[in-house]
């Protein structure tokens, strides 16, 4: 693929933040325009792009921004509870179309929303449709992709499904829960957006895009529940539940702000399915095929869980695809709920001695707290592995190895160890042990447990065992430190 000069608007947003590094990795010259460059301070690709300041709603601020650009990605949407956002979207689209035309840009790519060909649309879908028409009627050829619910860690639509399903065994919903939805995985959205670089410059039209599954919104929730290991949710339809009331309810029981929940709920008043498949004649489907809804949920959940134990956003080892993972520009609530217990203590032994004790933990060497054996017995009682697996080597651990009902997820020998629980739990659990040194030759041990709850049962479980954790980890910390100090003085 030849290098292309690309301008991205919306690089601080959910889609733009994922698309930008993909285009950079493909060898393109990328410029991003943002109102506040500080928002990109911590993204890992900052030094690989040209960052310019500009406000799409202020035409004067765009002078020179579109110069020497081949393709513009329009990936911004105003969001809000009043009609004023539509005015901002309209003016921004007009400014982009005019500036791109004046600069000789050859293509604009826009991501809008799936909508029925006739009938009343929500205010937000109407605005998306208007933006697409402005770009298509402008002086530069445009490709408008129209997508429905995007499934990926941190996408607003997915997070609403996830939090509602996780927290509510019984859900009261408006009648739109029976409307038809055609969700699409975030990595497939990115495939279409990236492929637009090579679309014939004579094409100027909108294309529907979607995944392989068409289902009701309520079915989406229960498929999510199945993938997440939850019981099927009971859905009670209340015809009198208005979008405003539903928005307040979503804002109350999920971390998603009401101002963001409202347009999502309003958009669900219409079916969101593809009405044509002409995109297949212009852009080839991904080599792996389009991602099913079930697989998209699985990828997103794995990405979220891994992100909560400090894994890198660019490495989802289960899939080899970074596009489903959480990234710094995602909303703060993208990772969901994680419960953490952290503690540390000084050790008179040096770091090498303390690490030797840490790496030998488990199996016949024990866990330095008798409560762990009780926990192992409880796990076996409910069909888990308990403590019977032990450890293959009494001294050395390797990544991927086992230690009782844990497996070694990561090891930085001499410094840190991360274990992931294989026990029967209503969620996912990790235990981290880290060693640090002091100038006087002594050391310090850090313990951190993290629990990612699954459903309401997971949250109840955490609060029930919280007092138990305090006792277990306090004794464990003291026992490991004492063992290292005895070894050092022997």
Residue 274: give its domain's CATH number: 3.40.50.720
Chosen domain end from 237, 271, 301: 301
Contact between residue 163 and residue 253 where contact means Cβ atoms under 8 Å apart: yes
Q: Do residue 72 and residue 217 come from a single domain?
A: yes
Does this model's pTM top 0.75? My answer is no
Q: Which has the higher per-residue pLDDT, 371 or 253? A: 371
Q: Do residue 296 and residue 343 come from a single domain?
A: no
> 315 in a domain, yes or no?
no
Q: Do residue 13 and residue 137 come from a single domain?
A: yes
Q: Do residue 427 and residue 366 come from a single domain?
A: yes
> 424 in a domain, yes or no?
yes
> 362 in a domain, yes or no?
yes
Q: Which has the higher per-residue pLDDT, 333 or 239? A: 239
Q: Which residues constitute the domain of residue 117?
A: 5-301
Digit-coded pLDDT (tens) for 317-346: 333 344 444 444 444 444 456 778 889 999
The pLDDT > 90 percentage for the chain reads 43
Average pLDDT over residues 238-251: 62
Structural domain count, the chain: 2
How far is it, in rounded angstroms, from Cα 389 to Cα 20? Answer: 45
Residues belonging to the chain: 490
Residue 348: give its domain's CATH number: 3.30.530.20
How far is it, in rounded angstroms, from Cα 448 to Cα 465? Answer: 15
pLDDT at 300: 86
Q: Do residue 257 and residue 366 come from a single domain?
A: no
Q: Do residue 218 and residue 363 come from a single domain?
A: no
Q: Do residue 154 and residue 52 come from a single domain?
A: yes
179-202 core/surface letters (b: 16 or more CB in 10 A; e: else)? bebbbbbbbbbbbbbbbbbebeee
Structure tokens at 482: 């004492």
> 195 in a domain, yes or no?
yes
Give strand ranges (E) for 199-258: 205-208, 215-216, 234-237
User: What one-character DSSP code corresponds to residue 148?
Assistant: -
| Rg of the chain over all Cα atoms, to the nearest angstrom | 26
Q: Do residue 62 and residue 178 come from a single domain?
A: yes
Contact between residue 273 and residue 193 where contact means Cβ atoms under 8 Å apart: no
């Amino acid at each position: 693929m030849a290098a292309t000069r690309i301008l991205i608007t919306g690089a601080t947003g959910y889609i733009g933040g994922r698309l930008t590094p993909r285009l950079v990795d493909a060898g393109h010259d990328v410029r991003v325009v943002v109102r506040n460059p500080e928002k990109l301070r911590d993204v890992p690709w900052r030094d690989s792009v040209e960052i310019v300041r500009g406000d799409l709603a202020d035409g004067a601020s765009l002078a020179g921004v579109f110069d020497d650009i081949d393709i513009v990605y329009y990936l911004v949407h105003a969001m809000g509870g009043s009609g004023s956002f539509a005015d901002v979207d309209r003016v921004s689209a007009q400014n982009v179309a005019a500036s791109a035309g004046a600069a000789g840009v050859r293509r604009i790519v826009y991501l809008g929303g799936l909508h029925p060909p006739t009938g009343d649309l929500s205010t937000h879908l109407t605005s998306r449709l208007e933006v697409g028409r402005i770009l298509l009627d402008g002086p530069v050829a445009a490709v408008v992709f129209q997508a429905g619910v995007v499934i990926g860690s941190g996408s607003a639509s997915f997070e609403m499904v996830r939090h509602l399903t996780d927290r509510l065994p019984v859900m009261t919903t408006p009648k739109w829960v029976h409307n038809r939805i055609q969700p699409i995985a975030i990595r497939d959205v990115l495939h279409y957006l990236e492929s637009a670089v090579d679309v014939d410059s004579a094409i100027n039209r909108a294309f529907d895009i979607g995944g392989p599954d068409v289902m009701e919104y309520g079915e989406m929730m229960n498929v999510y529940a199945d993938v997440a290991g939850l019981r099927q949710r009971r859905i009670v339809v209340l015809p009198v539940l208005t979008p405003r009331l539903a928005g307040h309810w979503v804002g109350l029981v999920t971390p998603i702000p009401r101002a963001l929940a409202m347009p999502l709920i309003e958009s669900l008043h219409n079916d969101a399915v593809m009405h044509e498949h002409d995109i297949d004649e212009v852009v080839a489907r991904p080599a792996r095929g389009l991602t099913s809804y079930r697989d998209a949920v699985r990828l997103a959940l794995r990405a979220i869980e891994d992100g909560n134990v400090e894994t890198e956003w660019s490495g989802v080892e289960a899939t080899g695809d970074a596009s489903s993972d959480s990234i710094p520009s995602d909303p703060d609530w993208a990772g969901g709920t994680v419960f953490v217990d952290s503690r540390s203590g000084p050790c008179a032994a040096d770091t090498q001695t303390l690490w030797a004790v840490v790496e030998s933990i488990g199996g016949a060497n024990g866990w330095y707290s008798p409560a762990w054996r009780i926990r192992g017995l409880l796990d076996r009682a409910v069909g888990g592995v308990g403590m019977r697996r032990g450890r293959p080597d009494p001294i050395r651990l390797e990544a991927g190895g086992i230690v009782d009902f844990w497996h070694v997820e990561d090891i930085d020998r001499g410094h840190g160890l991360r274990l992931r629980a294989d026990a029967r739990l209503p969620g996912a659990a990790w235990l981290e042990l880290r060693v640090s040194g002091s100038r006087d030759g002594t050391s310090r041990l850090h313990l951190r447990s993290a629990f990612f709850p699954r459903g309401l049962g997971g949250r109840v479980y955490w609060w029930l065992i919280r007092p138990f954790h305090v006792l277990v980890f306090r004794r464990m910390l003291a026992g490991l430190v004492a063992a290292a100090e005895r070894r050092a003085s022997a």
